Chains A and B, each alone.
Chain A
Amino acid sequence: AQSVTQPDIHITVSEGASLELRCNYSYGATPYLFWYVQSPGQGLQLLLKYFSGDTLVQGIKGFEAEFKRSQSSFNLRKPSVHWSDAAEYFCAVGDSNDYKLSFGAGTTVTVRA
């Protein structure tokens, strides 16, 4: 079964600074990878996903993620954060042999003025 690790529980970043959120997965074959964002009291919104092809994926709200097979990673980046990016971010992996979507524990992002 696959597993997902988000090493950073909490990240604080200044508005306008860059942001990188780490995600590592454990899975034998090529995984299906997702990043979701959850604002306080809200549901999960899909930021981007990777299935195959170009390893640099562009998403909504100015986010991008890069799939690195050699490092089993799918890190999320944003060049310049806005106060509205303060939220919980979840990395998730899907497996064609398993009905479950496996979520990481999440990273809380705080944006300071």
Chain B
Amino acid sequence: DTEVTQTPKHLVMGMTNKKSLKCEQHMGHRAMYWYKQKAKKPPELMFVYSYEKLSINESVPSRFSPECPNSSLLNLHLHALQPEDSALYLCASSQDQTVGRETQYFGPGTRLLVL
């Protein structure tokens, strides 16, 4: 089973709202990722968690706050977002963080619209 699940599928939020995106995998993977993808563009890496610890933050604004409660779960907390943050947010996981050798498996994404 190579499934990564994400909830919700769609989310509409105002600029003053607080919301969270959730990602789950049960493949025993120890690395999990958040990506942001704009239409017709490739995914852009935001965060990497390795063994439940944040290992990479790609200079993402603090209005995005990741959290890894356990090895299967990854959250992305959203607060005071801007309209330009509207995008598809993808979660991925891999066996380990050594990206060169590891295959990343992606979830279906959460389509976020910020009004």
Contacts and interface: CB of A to CB of B under 8 A. Distances in A.
Contacts of B111: 41
Contacts of A105: 41-42
Interface of A: 31-32, 34, 36, 41-46, 49, 51, 88, 90, 94-101, 103-106, 108
Contacts of A108: 40
B34 interface: no
B10 to A, nearest CB: 10
B99 A46 contact: no
Interface residues of B, number: 28
Contacts of A43: 4, 6, 90, 106-109
Contact of B42 (A32, A94, A99, A104): A104
Interface in B27-41: 40-41
30 contacts: A31-B100, A32-B100, A36-B106, A41-B109, A42-B109, A43-B6, A43-B109, A44-B43, A46-B2, A46-B103, A46-B105, A46-B106, A51-B101, A88-B40, A90-B42, A94-B99, A94-B100, A95-B99, A96-B100, A96-B101, A97-B100, A99-B56, A99-B99, A101-B45, A101-B99, A103-B43, A105-B42, A106-B40, A106-B42, A108-B40
A57 to B, nearest CB: 13
B86 interface: no
A40 B111 CA distance: 12
Contacts of A45: 106
Interface in B6-51: 6, 40-43, 45, 48
Classify the interface of chain B: helix, strand, loop or mixed: loop
Contacts of B45: 100-101
Given A46-B104, A101-B104, 8 more contacts: A41-B109, A43-B108, A46-B105, A51-B101, A88-B40, A90-B42, A101-B99, A103-B43
Contacts of A106: 40-42
B67 interface: no
